[in-house]
Amino acid sequence: MQVPEGLAAPRALGGLWAIRHAQSEANAWFADPATDQRPMPGTDAAVELTTHGHWQTQRLGDWLASLAGVQRPTLVVCSPYLRTRLTWAMMAEAAAGRNRHLSPIRTLVDERLRDREMGVFELHPYKAIQRRSREEAARRERVGNWVYRPPGGESLADVALRVRGFLDELDVVAAGEQVLVVTHDAVVVSLRYILDGLGAPVPDSLEPVPNASVSQWRREGSLLRLRVWGSVDHLRADAQAG
Tens-place pLDDT, residues 150-208: 999 999 999 999 999 999 999 999 999 999 999 999 999 999 999 999 999 999 888 89
The Cα angle at residue 106 between residues 209 and 219, in degrees rounded to 5: 55
Class of domain 15-241: alpha beta
Separation CA 187–CA 180 (nearest Å): 13
Separation CA 190–CA 206 (nearest Å): 11
Mean pLDDT on 134-139 = 96
Q: Give the residue ranges of DSSP H helices in 67-148.
A: 82-98, 126-132, 134-143
CA atoms within 13 A on the CB side of 235: 17
Q: Give the residue ranges of DSSP H helices in 99-209.
A: 126-132, 134-143, 156-173, 185-196
Task: Indicate the DSSP class of residue 204.
Answer: T
> Which pLDDT value is given to residue 237?
59
Separation CA 144–CA 105 (nearest Å): 39
Q: What are the residue ranges spanned by the domains of the chain? A: 15-241
pLDDT digits (tens, 9 = 90+) for 65-114: 999 989 999 999 999 999 999 999 999 999 999 998 899 999 999 999 99
- Reply yes or no on whether the pLDDT at 1 is more than 70: no
